[in-house]
């Protein structure tokens, strides 16, 4: 009897083992590895973000590169040489590259204005004596080099003249002179000079229309003809009488 029970227990154990084996080998495979693979393929990494999305750093770099390229476009070899010369002449001043480039492109050194610059050191009657008040482009003058040309108008009735800069001279007393000429229609060269200190600018211009004087304090000034500035007093005779220089002079006898 016991032998028969053992036999059936053995058969049952073998059957359960077989069923367990079949279940183990035929169970569904877990999906977590595939999910990880899919996530790895679809989730952007830090490297992918850097390659596929515009980052703040890249925007800043692009902006900086753009600014650098703009400076590079402005800073030509000719402008660099000009800046070096300007700095050598005015070692205590700082010149902005963009402002200098803009000044070089301008063609005039002053413009006439209807404003009477009352802050200028003039006598009251000189504010209304006919001189032309002007706004001076100081930086434009500072940029001038030999060979440069500028247009000037000395009077409202006069035509524009073209000045060619011939040479520049730096003086010991912290002032600089620019010398040039105007070529007249007859080929004659009329001499021009402008001298600038720290605040005062003075100049003289010979032109086919006569001689003119310019003066400015800072960027406010005036221009006038020498004829206007040095008017002769018609009420006073400048004739020299012989008796004034010859004490032995006697009046000639009158002939009747």
Decide: 225 and 212 in contact? Cβ < 8 Å: yes
> Which residue has better confidence, 239 or 8?
8
pLDDT at 182 over 80: yes
Residue in the structure block whose two tokens are 């660099």: 80
pLDDT at 163 over 90: yes
Helices (H), the chain: 2-26, 32-42, 46-52, 56-74, 77-89, 97-105, 138-143, 226-229, 242-245
- Quote the pLDDT of residue 175: 96
pLDDT at 57 over 70: no
Sheet holding 200-207, edge to edge: 110-112, 132-136, 220-225, 210-217, 200-207, 189-196, 176-183, 161-170, 149-152
- Quote the pLDDT of residue 15: 59
- Quote the pLDDT of residue 159: 80
pLDDT band for position 198 (50/70/90)?
confident
- Specify which residues 196 forms β-bridges with: 176, 201
pLDDT band for position 63 (50/70/90)?
very low
The C-alpha atoms of residue 96 and residue 90 are separated, in whole angstroms, by: 13
- Of the ranges 48-52, 90-94, 201-205, 230-234, which one carries the lowest mean pLDDT score? 48-52
Question: Would you call 204 exposed, middle or buried from its count of C-beta atoms within 10 A (0-12, 13-18, 19+)?
Answer: middle
Q: What percent of the chain has pLDDT over 70?
A: 61
Task: Name which of 194, 148, 147, 192 is nearest 169 in CA terms.
Answer: 194
């Amino acid at each position: 009897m016991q032998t028969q029970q053992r036999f059936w227990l053995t058969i049952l154990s073998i059957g359960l083992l077989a069923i367990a084996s079949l279940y183990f080998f035929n169970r569904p495979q877990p999906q977590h590895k595939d999910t990880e693979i899919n996530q790895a393929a679809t989730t952007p990494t830090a490297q992918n973000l850097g390659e596929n999305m515009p980052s703040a750093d890249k925007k800043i770099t692009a902006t900086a590169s753009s600014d650098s390229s703009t400076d590079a476009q402005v800073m030509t070899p000719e402008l660099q040489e000009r800046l070096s010369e300007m700095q050598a002449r005015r070692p205590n001043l700082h010149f902005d590259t963009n402002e200098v480039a803009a000044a070089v492109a301008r063609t005039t050194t002053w413009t006439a204005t209807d404003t009477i610059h009352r802050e200028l050191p003039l006598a009251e009657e000189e504010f209304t004596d006919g001189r032309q008040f002007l706004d001076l482009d100081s930086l434009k003058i500072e940029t001038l080099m030999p060979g440069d040309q500028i247009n000037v108008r000395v009077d409202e009735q006069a035509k524009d003249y073209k000045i060619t800069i011939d040479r520049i001279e730096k003086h010991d007393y912290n002032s600089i002179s620019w010398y040039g000429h105007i070529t007249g229609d007859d080929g004659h060269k009329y001499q021009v000079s402008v001298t600038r200190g720290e605040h005062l600018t003075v100049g003289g211009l010979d032109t086919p229309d006569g001689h003119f004087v310019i003066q400015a304090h800072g960027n406010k000034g005036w221009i006038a003809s020498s004829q206007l500035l040095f008017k002769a007093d018609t009420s006073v005779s400048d004739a020299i009488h012989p008796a004034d220089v010859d004490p032995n002079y006697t009046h000639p006898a009158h002939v009747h």
